[in-house]
Structure 1
């Protein structure tokens, strides 16, 4: 069973069509790489898959419960927050809880007081019940592999 599939999908912003009669499906555990020259439709295809764009024709199906996230090529100019917060934002609904957990850990490290410990304990319980630990580890892995400081302000980083 595929996580998503495209059948005879076409999209045009004029003539010629950017994408024409595209067929694509991706199953659980599969990985793909989109390679092509600038302007060939890679980002447009990703925007169709994530629902940011609507196809002119064809059919796009998503498996129930499947989530698709896309990292934009453009670096947000006006983003205020840490590297950790930006990466966590890609997780959807659990992003807020994971960001709260990270902030509580930083607060505990800075403060070390009982209030900080109690806050961290409450957030840990929420993380446990929501199954957020695996996602928090994924955020940490991404940041580690990129060799970034999780607490650095994103706006302070160079391109």
Structure 2
């Protein structure tokens, strides 16, 4: 018989992290309100997987499972079946997959400060965070100022011509 390993410590991580204590919210979609909860901080990774599966999936049951996972990411479990049915229904023209994905992303953004705060308390930066200001700009810095100067100069010339014409 093998000896039982002896451990130097025991951590019960379940005592510290309690996501059910995070605040809930309400999202109105297509005239109906739904309760949302804070999605896991891994939501951006889940969205990437969902997108890959949706592109590969040819089986309608698998496609529906992808939508169900997306809904389950932040909506109350009691509402999941209703939301999925509305997305699939040809009669509910407002609730589409694109609308649902956008809504889930907006819910995640609402909770982002809480998620960031949790990471700050741990002394680290949110590894999944994708701030808008990190995206490269398509415009050269100062391009707006140059356009504004040209517009102002053109306006001054026009005003001067009108004044000269009146005199």
- TM-score of the aligned structures, taking structure 1 as reference length: 0.25
- TM-score of the aligned structures, taking structure 2 as reference length: 0.25
Larger radius of gyration: 2
**Higher helix proportion (structure 1 or 2):** 2
